Amino acid sequence: MNVVALLAFLYGGCLAQYSPQTLPGRTSIVHLFEWRWVDVAAECEHYLAAHGFGGVQISPPNEHIVLNNPWRPWWERYQPISYKLCSRSGNEEEFRDMVTRCNNVGVRIYADVVINHMCGASGGSGTHSACRTYFNAGAEDFPAVPYSSWDFNDGRCKTKSGNIENYNDINQVRDCRLVSLLDLALEKEYVQGKIAGYLNKLIDAGVAGFRVDASKHMWPGDMEAIFSQLKSLDTRWFSNGTKPFIYQEVIDLGGEAIKSAQYFGIGRVTEFKYSAKLGTVVRKWSGEKMAYLRNWGEGWAFMPSDRALVFVDNHDNQRGHGAGGASILTFWDSRLYKVAVAFMLAHPYGLTRVMSSFRWNRYFVNGKDLNDWMGPPSYSNGSTKAVTLNPDTTCGNGWVCEHRWRQIRNMVIFRNVVDGQPFGNWWDNGSNQIAFGRGTTGFIAINNDDWNMDVTLQTGLPAGTYCDVISGQREGDRCTGLRVIVAADGRASFQISNTAEDPMLAIHVDAKL
């Protein structure tokens, strides 16, 4: 580690950026996985801003390898060729237009950035990339950056294969190749400068922050040396001196040498135990019960709430990659998935990210989905299909758009309404029926048992008639779904069938008639 990296590491607390820089009253972000820039811009203007979403995580905007499958794999986006703003989501002009339009309606953009590596060692050579830029993976030659063989970690890795072979060896994990991806020598000031230049270009375009891919494969000191070079955010949309939001992908389920806490000095960290544990509880596997969620969060040995970015699923683990295994809930398990997302959005722990996916043709052999590689809905030439809208506002063309599901969209609003209110009025039946409130602003009840719920509970809410935001919402002076009556003493009755399509009820003060 050089002197600049060491100084950055020592003063990391000054660089740490934990705030998503969203507008007040907007508390959740959505990952529009593999969306085109033109579709993201339209979604910001016509849906996300109106429904209280704070920001969008986009797929990596850098130029990447193009692989010649009939339907190109999603993971080609994670194999950079250059730092040009050219990808299967669109060109630089479309990217800048998207960021501007989203910021203009108060929806922030967070770029997924791949800075640990370039493409795979077997990526070949030529111009099979998003902008047809020449590269030679075998020679480690990327002239558009430029990087040469001097800029990679070959000499530092001590394994015979050059790949990571032991995840309990910190040096291997951070200096060797992740699944043969060419590992950049981030300790070099030249490499740090090239990456910082790329990130600053994104800041100049108006992005609010970064999701940092494969963070546990980089030394924290090297990362801080890079982030110390970042500009403040664009004053067209952010206060003078505002620093970018940083959240890092660190898979830490507790069984490896590298720990999430090693990255707290840089920014927030993805809490992978959250999705793995919540999936196990909602599925009622391994004897877990929802009653055990009373002390959810730090009480489950999770990282501190103000350092955590949480999710029910992400683009990796919904495909069986990354962490969590079969317990991960996804849109394929829609009923239980909505239960888990509603719980996440009602509970105060962490900064929440909602997933928005596309469908693929699953094909299982011995429990393994052999089609988990499939990229976004595409035409025969490999170009990504537009996100189209159905009359009921759900998505077509193969796009799932979980964030547009009524139950999830309305719980995003619920979280905005209850933001800052204390967790309280917990109730459970000792099994899988639970309920809890958020101060005097919101209350949720969930029945995940095999029998009906019929209880009267203290909600903490003012007296009145409330619209359940799971089955519908308030529209003027009426409810489009169920009603819940809160008495003068704050108590209300909750009847939830175990066979209900959505076995939960949620109310908040902005849904009061």
Question: What DSSP letter does each residue of 268-302 carry, written as one string?
Answer: EEE-HHHHHHHHHHHHT-TT--GGGGGGTTGGGTP
The C-alpha atoms of residue 354 and residue 398 are separated, in whole angstroms, by 18
Q: State phi, psi for 469 to the nearest 5 degrees.
A: -90, 0
The C-alpha atoms of residue 129 and residue 313 are separated, in whole angstroms, by 29
Question: What DSSP letter does each residue of 237-270 carry, written as one string?
Answer: TS-TTPPPEEEE-----SSSS--GGGGTTTBEEE
Tokens of 122: 């077997």
Q: State phi, psi for 294 to the nearest 5 degrees.
A: -55, -40
235, 10 Cβ separation under 8 angstroms: no
89, 34 Cβ separation under 8 angstroms: yes
Is position 475 annotated as part of the catalytic site?
no
CB burial of 254-271 (b: ≥16 within 10 Å; e: otherwise) equals: eeeebebebbbbbbbbbb
Question: What DSSP letter does each residue of 148-191 carry, written as one string?
Answer: -GGGB-TTT--SSSSB---TT-HHHHHHSBSTTEEEB-TTSHHH
Query: Quick one: 286 exposed, middle or buried, by C-beta within 10 A (0-12, 13-18, 19+)?
Result: exposed
**Catalytic-role residue among 76, 213, 271, 449:** 213
Tokens of 281: 């509880």
149, 132 Cβ separation under 8 angstroms: no
The bridge status of strand 108-113 relative to strand 209-212 is parallel
**Catalytic-role residue among 76, 151, 249, 372:** 249
CA separation, residue 440 to residues 155, 374, 407, 419, 430 (Å): 60, 46, 22, 11, 25
Tokens of 228: 């110390």
Is position 249 annotated as part of the catalytic site?
yes
The C-alpha atoms of residue 405 and residue 396 are separated, in whole angstroms, by 13
Q: Does the N-terminal peptide bond of residue 146 adopt cis geometry, omega within 30 degrees of 0?
A: yes
The C-alpha atoms of residue 308 and residue 352 are separated, in whole angstroms, by 9
The C-alpha atoms of residue 389 and residue 97 are separated, in whole angstroms, by 22
User: 433: which strand partners?
Assistant: 447
Q: Is 10 helix (H, G, I), strand (E, B) or coil?
A: helix
Q: Which residues are catalytic?
A: 213, 249
